[in-house]
Homo-oligomer: A and B are copies of this chain.
Amino acid sequence: MYHEIANDIINKINQGDFDTKLPTEQELMARYGVSRNTIRRAIDVVYQRGLLRRVQGSGYYINRQPSASKAIMNLSAGTGNAMHSAETHLTSKVVTFDKVNVDHEYARLMHVPDGTEMYRVVRLRSLEGELYCLEQAYFLTKLIPVLTVEAVNDSILTFLKETYAITPTSSDDFVSVEQLTADQASLLERPVGDSVLCLSQLNYCGNGTFFNYSITHYVYPGIHFYFHAAPLASN
């Protein structure tokens, strides 16, 4: 219930249906026909997405979002949704698609046993003809017995959702500056050793089990990662 309401509010905000403030809780309760607790829970979701700031005694104010540049990748909503924002316009060229048994180093990164079998998908992604990133992703074959070529060429996440009902619900994210290896550099048409933004993600699905690791190098000019930190507070 509160999920639907949260999504509805998010969509309305993105459509600009509200001016600067959200309606009051009372009005939202009436509009959706639910209790105050449910409305507040829905608003928690929206707030945690960074779309609102809340002021006691006054109301919920809509945050001006950071300039929606193609060069800004929003990581606030978690992996699943970050994909939808800018990544919908990305085109992919599959470089590698096979099964591998991960070596010791990768196994340690993912906290899986040495030699665990995984799908490996390497994709070169572009935005309107300009190289965007080189993505190297691994999926547990134990959880995802079959991964099709169509899915890899299209959207892997929607395939996983539709076929296996697997959706990333949480992730561990590491950001660093890395220097391109010869292989990476040639694919990305960059000098060897060039310093680029690098994002490593460990993705977990509903019940908290690990299912995917990916490491992505971003070369799009002026690329930034953005996220809004709005802890539920505790100090």
Q: Which residues of A are in contact with B by a Cβ distance under 8 Å?
A: 3, 6-7, 10, 44-45, 48-50, 53-55, 61, 64, 66, 72, 75, 77-81, 111, 167, 169-177, 195-197, 204, 207-208, 222-235
Establish whether residues B232 and A53, one from each chain, have CB atoms under 8 Å apart when the complex forms: no
Known contacts A78-B230, A81-B231, A81-B234; 16 further A-B pairs (Cβ under 8 A): A3-B234, A7-B235, A10-B234, A44-B232, A45-B231, A48-B231, A53-B204, A54-B208, A169-B233, A171-B228, A175-B225, A176-B223, A176-B224, A177-B177, A177-B195, A177-B196
Establish whether residues A231 and B78, one from each chain, have CB atoms under 8 Å apart when the complex forms: yes
Establish whether residues A66 and B172, one from each chain, have CB atoms under 8 Å apart when the complex forms: yes
Task: Determine the distance from Cα of A128 to Cα of B173 in the docked complex, in whole angstroms.
Answer: 26
**A173 touching B53 in the complex, CB below 8 Å, given contacts A111-B64, A232-B45, A234-B7:** no
Task: Determine the distance from Cα of A49 to Cα of B175 in the docked complex, in whole angstroms.
Answer: 18
Interface of A: prevailing SS: mixed
Task: Determine the distance from Cα of A34 to Cα of B53 in the docked complex, in whole angstroms.
Answer: 28
Q: Choose one: B72, B197, B234; the contact of A6 (CB below 8 Å).
A: B234
Provide the residues of chain B in CB contact with A223, threshold 8 Å: 176
Establish whether residues A231 and B169, one from each chain, have CB atoms under 8 Å apart when the complex forms: yes
Establish whether residues A229 and B170, one from each chain, have CB atoms under 8 Å apart when the complex forms: yes
Provide the residues of chain B in CB contact with A224, threshold 8 Å: 174-176
Task: Determine the distance from Cα of A177 to Cα of B80 in the docked complex, in whole angstroms.
Answer: 24
Which residue of chain B is the closest to A194 with respect to CB atoms?
B195
Establish whether residues A78 and B229, one from each chain, have CB atoms under 8 Å apart when the complex forms: yes
Task: Determine the distance from Cα of A174 to Cα of B50 in the docked complex, in whole angstroms.
Answer: 14
Provide the residues of chain B in CB contact with A64, threshold 8 Å: 111
